[in-house]
Structure 1
Amino acid sequence: MRVAIIEPPLMGHMLRGTGVYTRNLARALEDVTDMEIVMSEIESLPKNVDLYHFPYFDPFFRTLPVIRNKPTVVTVHDLTPIRFPEHFPRGIKGELKWQLQKYILRGIEAVITDSQASKVDVEKFVGLDPQKVHSVYLAPEPEFFEKRDKSEKENIRKKYQLPGKFAIYTGEVNWNKNLPNIIKAATLAKIHLLIISKSFIEKHEESYNPWKDSLLESQTLARNNPWVKGLGYVKLSELVTIYQMASVLLLPSYYEGFGLPVVEAFASGCPVITSDKGSLGEVAAGASLIVEPDDVSGMAKAIHSILTDQELGRKLIKKGKNKLSQFTWKKTADQTFNVYNSVLDK
C-alpha cells in the first residue's frame, strides 16, 4: 500500500498538535508491513499512490481539494468553533467557507478523529454516517520518555530563569483553553505559572477580533503579575525537560478534541489538573485531578493539594504512567492502517 500524507497548508500548524500528529504518524506507519508513505503538498498531489490522507481539517480554510483522483481519508482533530459558535463567531464569509468544507468532507471515504468526543461532533455537525468516522487516539512523542538528569534541568532553569516550583500551561490561547481562569487559579494558589505559547507573548493588531478575547484577557491578567511568566515557542528537547521539572500541568479546558499535553505530562511524570469536558473525560479520567473550568477556587485548591501532598502527587504520576498503554504511536499507526484498508477494500 502506498499512501500520500498531505502536509497541512497552514505552516503554523506544523509547530502545534497537528505537526506532532503528522510527523509521528508518518514515522510509525513506516514500520507497518506493506506500507509506503509519501509526504506531499496539496498543490501537487501525487498520482502513483493508492490513497490520500489529509491529516488536518479547518472549517474555515480550504484544506481539502474539491476534486481528488484517489480514495481519501481526512483527520478532523476537533470542531470546537462549530460546536461553540457563540465563542467563535464566523460571520457570512466564515459560514460560506464552512458550508463548502462540510460539503467536501461529506464526499470523503473515511474520517479519523482523535477521540470519541470528536467523532460524535463530526457525525452531528457534518452529518456523516457513523460507519465512516473512526476514533483513533494520539500519543506523546517518544522524546517525552527520555529521562533528564539534574544538570540538564539546571541548565534549563538558568536559561529561562525558572523558580523552584512552578505549574505549566502549554498550547494555543483560545476560549476553550480557559487560560484566564488558569492564571487566576495559579495566582490564588501562589504558584508560579509558566505559559508556553507562541501566541501568548506576541503583540496583536488593534482591530477587534472576538476570537482573541481570551488571549487579550490572559495577557491583561499576566501583565505585572509576579506569578506568571510567558515563553514563546521552545524546541522539543527543552519542552521535555520543562515538563519533567514542573510541579503540575494545568489544562482545565472548556473543551478539547484530544488534549495532547495531558499524555505528554503522563509520560513526563508530571501530575495533571484538568476537566472532564470533551475528550478530556476519555484521556485523563482516573489519572488526574478533575475540576470544573469555571471553579477558580476549586482549581486553586487542587493545585494546593498536589503541592502539599506528596503521596497524592506520586499516585497521580503512577496512574498517568499506567494509562499511557492506551496511547502509543504504534496503536495509532495500526488503527490508521486498518482505516486505510477499509477504504481500499470497498
Structure 2
Amino acid sequence: MKVFFDHQTFSIQKFGGISRYNVELISGVNKGINDTAYLPILLSDNVYLNKLNQYNVNLLPKNNFYKKAQIVYKINKLYSVAHLVKKGFDLFHPTYYDPYFLPYLKGKPFVLTIHDMIHERFVEQFPELDNKNSAIEKKQVLAEKADRIITVSNSTKLDVVNMLGVKPEKVHVIYSAGSFNPVWTTTKGRFVEEPYLLFVGRRERYKNFEGLLNAIRHILEKYKIKLVCAGGGEFTAQENKIIDSFRLSQLVNQISINDKLLSILYNQAIAFIFPSLYEGFGIPVLEAFASDCPCIVSNQSSLPEVGGDAVVYINPFSRESIVDAVEKIICSSQLRQDLIEKGRVQLAKFSWDKTVKETVDLYRTLL
C-alpha cells in the first residue's frame, strides 16, 4: 500500500500539532514491511521534517521576502499536482483542507483528518473566515467527499457529525499521541528560579489567557509565584496592556522554547494550567504527563478524554473554579505527587504506534 500525504500543512506551519501529527503518521507507516508513505515537497522550514530524513527537502532561508508564504505554497502545490497526475499511489491523505486535489484523484480514495472544529465553534472570533473560500467552506466540501474521516477525539467527532452533517459511521476516532522524551527532563538547576505555573502555546481567543490572568492575579501575588508562558510568540501590545492593568508585569513572563526546554519547564513547574474553552485533542496535557508535571485542565470539549482521572479539572468560565483548583495544587505536595503518578498511567494509553496501526487498518478498508 502506497499512501500519498500532500504539502499543505508543511507549506503553512514551521511547527505545530498538525504537522507533527502528519510526520508521525508518515514515519510510522514507513516502518511497516509492505506499506509506504511519501510526501512530495520542495520547500519548507517545518522543524519536524528532520525526522523524515529519507526526503531531500530544501529548507528555506530564515529571512522573509515578499510574498514568501504564497510563493512557497504555490510551488509545493504544483509539485503535489504533478505527483497526483502520475497516479503512483493507492490512497491520498491531505494534510489540511484545500480541495485542490479533488479533480486529480480519478477514483482513488482519500482519508481526511479533522483535528478540531474551532473555526466553526467560534466563528464570531474568526471574521476573516466569513467567505466562501474560507477554511470552513473548504472543510465542508472535503468532509462530504472524503471516503473516511478521522477525528482525534470523540468530542470532535460529535462536532463533525452535528456541524458538518456527516454520517457517524463515516467518522472514525483515532487518538493522537505525544512526542516528548522523558529523558529531556533530566537537567541540573532550575531554568526559572522562582516557583511558577506554566501556560503553553498560543494565547488568543478561545485559549482563555485573559480569563486566566483575571482569575489568578491575586494568587500570584499571595503566594509569590510566577506565570510562565512558554511559546506562543512575544506578548502583544494588547496583552502587555492587560498584564500591566492587573499589575502583573513582574509576575508574568514569556519564554521562547524548543521541545527540550519545554519539557524542562513542564518538569520544574508547580503545575501546567490549560484553561482553554475548546480543544480538538490536547497534546500539551500528554506533554505535561511525560514531563512529570501536575495538570490543571479545562473540563471542556475533548480534554476530559485526554486527562482522564489524572488532572484537576476547572470550569474555564468560572473564576472561582480556577482559583480553587490552583490553590489546591499550590498547597498540597501530596496532591501534586498523586497527579504525577496518575499522569504516567494515563500517558501509557496514548502512543504513536497505536495511532499509526489504527490509521493503517482504516486505510486497508478502502483498498
Matched, 1:256 2:264: no
SS at match of 1:273: strand
Residue 270 (structure 2) aligned to one of 231, 235, 247: 247
Match of 1:107 in 2: 145
Unaligned runs of 5+ in 2: 42-76
Q: How big is each residue's C-alpha offset from its partner over 1:184-228, in whole Å with a ceiling of 9 and x where there is no partner?
A: 23322213111123344356xxxxxxxxxxxx4x44322462211
Q: 84-93 or 223-232: which moved more?
A: 84-93
Please provide the CA RMSD for this pair: 2.2
Alpha carbons 1:248, 1:270 under 8 Å: kept: yes
1:220 aligned counterpart, secondary structure: helix
Question: For residue 221 of structure 1, what is the amino acid of its counterpart?
Answer: I
Kept after mapping to 2: 8 A contact 1:248/1:306? yes
Q: 1:64 to 1:325 in 2, by over 3 A?
A: farther
Give the equivalent residue in structure 2 for 1:196: 230
Aligned to 1:79: 117
Contact 1:287 1:316 in 2 (8 A): yes
Q: Structure 1 vs Structure 2: percent identity of aligned residues? A: 26
Deviation at 1:274, TM superposition (A): 0.9
Secondary structure (helix, strand or coil) at the match of 2:228 reads strand
Q: In structure 1, the residue corresponding to 2:317 is in which secondary structure?
A: coil
> Whole-Å Cα distance in 2 between the matches of residues 38 and 100 of structure 1?
24
State the match for 1:220 in structure 2.
Answer: 241
- Once the two structures are superposed, residues 15-67 of structure 1 have per-residue CA deviations (whole angstroms, 9 ceiling, x without a partner) of 1111221222222222234211111244323231111112333xxxx365332
Structure 1 residue 130 displacement after superposition: 1.5
Q: CA deviation at 1:100?
A: 4.3
Q: 1:149 to 1:240 in 2, by over 3 A?
A: same
Residues 1:148 and 2:185 are matched in the alignment: yes
Q: 2:254 matched to which residue of 1?
A: 230
Alignment correspondent of 1:171:
201
Q: Deviations over 1:249-299 (max 9, x none)?
A: 111211110011011111111011011211012111311001110222321
Cα deviations by residue, 1:62-105 (Å, 9 ceiling, x for unpaired)? 36533231311111111112123233345642576633441233
Q: Please name the residue that 1:334 is paired with.
A: 357
Change in CA separation of 1:63 and 1:267 when aligned onto 2, cut-off 3 Å: farther
Deviations 1:158-179 (A, max 9, x none): xxxx233111111222322111
2:299·2:316 contact (CA, 8 Å) conserved in 1? no
Aligned residue for 2:126?
88
TM-score by length of 1: 0.84
What are the within-5 Å matches in structure 2 for residues 1-346 of structure 1? 1-9=1-9, 11-41=11-41, 42-45=77-80, 46=83, 47-57=87-97, 62=98, 64-69=100-105, 70-90=108-128, 92-93=130-131, 98-141=136-179, 143-151=180-188, 153-154=189-190, 157=191, 162-190=192-220, 191-201=225-235, 216=238, 218-223=239-244, 225-232=249-256, 234-344=257-367
- 103-112 vs 311-320, which moves further: 103-112
TM-score under structure 2 length normalisation: 0.80
What's the secondary structure of 1:230's corresponding residue?
A: strand
Alpha-carbon spacing, 1:265–1:18, altered in 2? closer, same or farther (3 Å) = same
Separation of aligned partners in 2, 1:124 and 1:75: 16
User: CA 1:99–1:8 in 2, change beyond 3 Å: closer, same or farther?
Assistant: closer
Contact 1:266 1:324 in 2 (8 A): yes
Structure of higher CA gyration radius: 2
Separation (CA, whole Å) in 2 of partners of 1:9 and 1:106: 21
Structure 1 runs not aligned, ≥5 long: 204-215
